[in-house]
Amino acid sequence: MKESIEKAKILIESLPYIRAFYNKTVVIKYGGHAMVDEELKKNFALDIILMKYIGINPVIVHGGGPQINKVLDRMQIKPSYVEGMRVTDTETMDVVEMVLVGKVNKEIVGLINHHGGKAVGLSGRDGDLIRARKMTIQKSQAEDAPPELIDLGRVGEVTKVNPDILQTIEVQDFIPVIAPVGVGEDNFSYNINADLVAGAVAGHLKAAKLILLTDVEGVLDKDSRLVGSLSSQEADELLVSGAIAGGMIPKVKCCQSALTAGVTKTHIIDGRVEHAILLEMFTHEGVGTEIVL
């Protein structure tokens, strides 16, 4: 009986959060170890289904870098990176689109449907969902020389998100699962960083939350301690100090851009923790790092 009462208390604790997020949109970037471990994959699907059944509208944007690399390796194509960005020529783009849209996306949709949800897969081409343009990056050279412009091939950045198809899917009670492939004015497909797509989608939908699943606890301070909550200004200070470095930099900047675009709260959480999404959404303590304006 005592154990049952404790379970009831947990449900009561979640009630204010269920009420607060009822009929609100939450965008979740799904990636990292949570996409590989079978038990974590199952838990992710159940978390998403539960959110939908209690009246929250989850929108999923997924990555798939390791899966792309496996196929490239079988095709004896060596991946190339510049400052963490995958150089994507036409041949590589064909593989990226095939893996992300044709394989990974469908696997996630199937996983959710298998466990009792209703999911539908999309790419940027569907309903003109994600418009993109070619991305170039600048690499600093000597102090007296202009920066070098680096051509990454078919790597893109989001220029526009058309929410019409997402709203239509929402009305039909489906869960959208989005592959991070956009389409340009030239009608070419572009490979886009999944964090950037998730942030752009969240901003255009004015989502209540943007949640990025990672393979780390969250944002750490200079003493390697987890920071539970940050303002955007405090995040800037950690960026300048170098406490936020490496792969965490684009994630934090993605959160800041989403906040500027109208997202209420953003979160960077550890996808290796069982039911991390529910813990962040429905408990007082939460998990990972919350970033707000």
Taking the model in full, what pTM does it have? Answer: 0.92
Distance (Å, whole) CA 266 – CA 258:
8
3-state secondary structure of 172: coil
pLDDT tens digit string along 198-252?
A: 999 999 999 999 999 999 999 998 888 999 999 999 999 999 888 888 788 889 9
pLDDT tens digit string along 56-70?
A: 999 999 999 889 999
Distance (Å, whole) CA 142 – CA 147:
8
- CATH class in words for 24-283: alpha beta
Listed in sequence order, the residues at least 6 apart from 18 whose beta carbon sits closer than 8 Å to its beta carbon are 54, 55, 56, 282
Share of the chain above pLDDT 70, in %: 96
Distance (Å, whole) CA 190 – CA 155:
5
What pLDDT shows up at residue 64? Answer: 92
Which of the four pLDDT bands, split at 50, 70 and 90, describes residue 24? very high
Question: What is the average pLDDT across 188-198?
Answer: 94
Whether residue 149 has pLDDT greater than 80: no
Which of the four pLDDT bands, split at 50, 70 and 90, describes residue 81? confident
What pLDDT shows up at residue 141? Answer: 60
Whether residue 159 has pLDDT greater than 80: yes
Listed in sequence order, the residues at least 6 apart from 47 whose beta carbon sits closer than 8 Å to its beta carbon are 275, 277, 278
What pLDDT shows up at residue 83? Answer: 64
